[in-house]
Amino acid sequence: MVKKLASKKTKELVLETMIREKGWKKSDFTPTWQGRLSVLQTGKSKIAERLEIKTDGEYAIKVR
Evaluate whether 43 touches 49 at the Cβ level (below 8 Å): no
pLDDT above 90 for 56:
yes
Give residue 51's pLDDT.
Answer: 87
CATH number, domain at 57? Answer: 2.20.28.90
**pTM, entire model:** 0.84
Query: Pseudo-torsion of CA 45, 51, 52, 56, nearest 10°?
Result: -50
Which amino acid is present at 64? R
Q: Is the pLDDT at 59 greater than 90, yes or no?
A: yes
**H helix or E strand, kind and range, residue 49:** helix 46-50
Q: Which domain holds residue 46?
A: 4-63
State the pLDDT confidence band at 1, using cuts at 50, 70 and 90: low
Q: Total structural domains in the chain?
A: 1
Which residues, 6+ apart, have CB-to-CB distance to 47 below 8 Å? 37, 39, 53
With H, G, I as helix, E, B as strand and everything else as coil, classify residue 48: helix
